[in-house]
Structure 1
Amino acid sequence: MFKVLRPLLMSLCLAILLWFPANDALALGGKQPDLNAPAPEFTLLGNNGDGDIDEFSLSDYLGQWVVLYFYPQDFTPGCTLEAQRFQQDLPKYNERDVQILGVSVDDVDSHEQFCDAEGLKFPLLADAKGEVSKSYGSYLTGYSLRHTYLIDPKGLLQKIYLGVNPAIHSQEVLADLDSLTANS
């Protein structure tokens, strides 16, 4: 029954977000973590991009930049486009020693199917209870919101993107990474 109602609930959530003024709509996800402060730590199960299920912790990536992006649901048009763009640009992220981690409330089986269908070679993490999404202020009514967080090699949050455009977001993140690393 929930699988039938889930698209309806998603549409309702999106309608609410579009109805509110931009700043109010983005605040619906909760309080954002502070910039230049430690990013909220987490450990989640996910697909490692090679078809295996592993445990992933943010602390595993100390020493490199992390693009932590939250998205509403596997296989939806915007989420698929965003994932495809990150995959398309993956060699550029690899050249910069940047780890991409995608997070949604979908389970690991859904992530595995999504990675297989789209040829994704970066981890998608299952935040089934929404706890990590909530800790990043990226949760609303059973879904992760489309937010992205740039985390530096020391584990500090350097940039927050709210309500991103999936078609251009990966290029935007790459440009900001270049700017941030040039200044450090």
Structure 2
Amino acid sequence: MKTLKAGDKLPEISLQDQNGNVFNIRDYLGNKKLVVYFYPKDQSDVCTKEACAFRDSFEAFTDSGAIVVGINSGTVASHRKFAQKNNLPFLLLSDPGNKILKSFGIKPWLFLTGRETFVIGTDGKIEFSYRAFLNGDAHPEKVLEFLQK
């Protein structure tokens, strides 16, 4: 499958968040932009830096009219622990079997799932994407640059 790019339509996303609630992306479209970031693993060094960089920039994202959501194959319990430990103010969605990751066409890196961030417009189409596997904390910076243009 090809990786989604600007202009492509968003696939359906309906997953459980770290609190066990169902998050359906269609409930958010039309109101705000969505920043959806895929990351390999809760608690790993690069993933923690990335999540904390999104946390530290969270106010800038909300000021830009965007909602931030992180996704990986981790369990609801793993996401809850990760969010609590790092005081993450945004939702982390559990994607068992990486079904949603695959629908976005995220490419693996060595033996790990990929790291890529997407900005989805209020119309449900991809507006921007950024991929940098080893530089997770650059994702919020690059996305904010795009949102604030």
**Superposition TM-score, scaled by structure 1 size:** 0.74
In 2, Cα distance between the equivalents of 1:145 and 1:125? 16
Q: Once the 2 structures are TM-superposed, how far is the Cα of residue 31 of structure 1 from its aligned partner?
A: 1.4
Larger Rg: 1
In 1, Cα distance between the equivalents of 2:147 and 2:127? 10
Runs of 4+ residues deviating >6 angstroms = none
**Higher relative contact order (Cα pairs below 8 Å, separated by 6+ residues):** 2
1:38 to 1, 6, 9: 9
Unaligned runs of 5+ in 1: 1-29, 180-184
Q: Once the 2 structures are TM-superposed, how far is the Cα of residue 53 of structure 1 from its aligned partner?
A: 2.1
Q: Once the 2 structures are TM-superposed, how far is the Cα of residue 177 of structure 1 from its aligned partner?
A: 0.8
2:21 to 51, 54, 78: 54
Unaligned runs of 5+ in 2: none
1:36-93 Cα shifts (integer Å, max 9, x gaps):
121111100012xxxx321111212112101100000000000000000000011111
CA RMSD in angstroms comes to: 1.6
Does structure 2 conserve the Cα–Cα contact (< 8 Å) formed by 1:68 and 1:150? yes
Paired residues in the alignment total: 146
1:75 to 43, 58, 62: 43
Paired residue for 2:144? Answer: 174
Structure richer in helix, relative to its length: 1
1:147 to 97, 116, 120: 116
Matches of residues 94-173 of structure 1 in structure 2 within 5 Å?
94-138=62-106, 140=108, 143-164=112-133, 165-173=135-143
